Amino acid sequence: MSTIAPKSTPTYYDEVVRKGYTRRDFAKFCAMMGAYLGLSQSGLAQVTDALKTKPRLPVIWLHFQECTCCSESFIRSSHPMVADILLDQISLDYTETLMAASGFQAEEAMKNTMEKYKGEYILCVEGSVPTAADGVYCMIGGKTSMQILEEAAAGAKAIIAWGSCACNGCVQAAAPNPTSATPIHKLVSGKPIIKVPGCPPIGEVMAGVIVHVVAFGRIPELDGLGRPKAFYSKRVHDTCYRRPFYDAGLFVETFDDENARKGYCLYKVGCKGPSTYNACGVTKWNNGTSFPIQSGHGCFGCSEANYWDNGRIYSRASAFPGFGIEATADKVGKVALGVTAVALAAHAVATNVRKQNLIHNLEKEGQQSEKDLDNENI
């Protein structure tokens, strides 16, 4: 396997044919990607056209503090061609997990790609960057991940932050964050960054983002948090097939109750679907087989920032910064209400004691007027 792209770069279609796929397979793949991206017929033609005529995009795929679940998810996306054309052969300029080269050879390959395709290559980053202790917590080839990122980002056309690690730090950035794990967008500026959060993101979503960049030559439309709108504009809750149970007010209370057997809504057992933006309810996982809620487990909120610190997995009530994990809003509220009631009762007693004369005079005055009315000597 050549880690250095040949001079006249083949198109995606060339590579697909070389790999033994038929034109029909290719068309199917394009249609599938078009559907995931929510494209119209004309958009679909554009995708097909682009993959047929455009030279493949050089990609450098870096792995920092992460578990490689993003890569695992990506190579398991439902169409085998996704992995084949986007990763396995063509875009494999540099990726620690999947490339054949190692050591000096691998570093050389990355350097070559960076020089040859300066300003053209897409930089994919999986994992966060530890900034504590000068970055010694994650070093590859004698360099810190921060150095590698800076070098690679300088010549990148765009950066794709794969997964929650690269987007928001994920578990290693959870309190107390001993390595100061930092997401990519806080370290790199001046480059378009596409955030594809999730732990991992859905393989088809990852493929869709790359196909979009290839086909249209620009990054997809992003929301306020930098996520592609095509996949992250709806809550899991809004596309959930259990939503009718939620609207009806029918909830599972424990995982082994009758309501759980009936497949009711998992809201009360901590489902984070109502505050999580992802495509799980539509695209699902493992070739559209299922997704957490369909398997009877609430959404974890894995694609939301700080989901490890923000909430407990099996309860709606979650921790609030500074109040600790046990202090939920309702608990604190009830205690505060009790304290207020006691304080007001004490105040009422104090009023009657301290303002005795005042109240007494008011009463007397009232009684006097009452008498005056009877006596008609107003």
Partner 1 sequence: MKNNKVHRLRRVFVWELPVRIYHWLNALCIVALVVTGLYIGSPLVLQSSSEASEKFFMGWVKTIHFIAAFLFFFNFLFRIYWGFVGNKYADWRNFVPTNKRYFKEMWQVLKMDILMMKGKEHLSVGHNAVAGFSYFITFILFLIQCITGFGLYAAMSNFWVAKMFAWVPTMFGGEILLRQVHHWTTWLFILFTVVHVYLVFYHDYVEGRGEISSMGGGWKFIEDEVFDEVKAEKQKKMLAKKEKMETHMKPLT
Distance between CA atoms of residues 338 and 266, nearest Å: 31
Strand partners, 55: 11
Nearer to partner 1, 27 or 332 (CB): 332
Q: Check residue 373 for interaction with partner 1 (CB under 8 A).
A: no
User: From the list 250, 296, 313, 314, which residue makes contact with partner 1 (rule: CB under 8 A)?
Assistant: 250
Structure tokens at 321: 């910064």
Q: For the CA atoms of the chain, what is the radius of gyration?
A: 30
Identify the CA nearest to 66 among candidates 202, 204, 170. 170
Nearer to partner 1, 31 or 317 (CB): 317
The DSSP symbol for 316 reads S
User: From the list 172, 259, 278, 283, which residue makes contact with partner 1 (rule: CB under 8 A)?
Assistant: 259
Distant-in-sequence contacts of 308-317, Cβ < 8 A, 24+ apart: 308/170, 308/171, 308/174, 309/174, 309/175, 311/270, 311/272, 312/270, 313/270, 314/269, 314/270, 315/269, 315/270, 316/267, 316/268, 316/270
Nearer to partner 1, 58 or 220 (CB): 220
Q: Check residue 311 for interaction with partner 1 (CB under 8 A).
A: yes
Nearer to partner 1, 21 or 251 (CB): 251
Distance between CA atoms of residues 204 and 37, nearest Å: 10
Taking CB under 8 A as the binding criterion, the range among 82-90, 103-111, 207-215, 329-337 that sits at the site for partner 1 is 329-337
Match 């994650």 to its residue by tokens.
Answer: 138
Q: Check residue 255 for interaction with partner 1 (CB under 8 A).
A: no
Nearer to partner 1, 27 or 345 (CB): 345
Q: Check residue 325 for interaction with partner 1 (CB under 8 A).
A: no
- Beta-strand (E) ranges in 185-314? 193-196
Q: How far is the CB of 333 from partner 1 (least distance, A)?
A: 3
Q: Check residue 233 for interaction with partner 1 (CB under 8 A).
A: yes
Distance between CA atoms of residues 32 and 321, nearest Å: 43
Q: Check residue 31 for interaction with partner 1 (CB under 8 A).
A: no
Q: Check residue 186 for interaction with partner 1 (CB under 8 A).
A: no
Distance between CA atoms of residues 198 and 362, nearest Å: 68
Q: Check residue 251 for interaction with partner 1 (CB under 8 A).
A: yes
Q: Which stretches of the chain bind partner 1, using CB under 8 A?
A: 168, 223-225, 233-235, 238, 244-253, 258-259, 264, 267-268, 272, 274-277, 301, 304-307, 310-311, 316-318, 320-321, 329-330, 332-333, 336-337, 340-341, 344, 347-348, 350-351, 354-355, 357-359, 361-362, 364-366, 368-369, 372
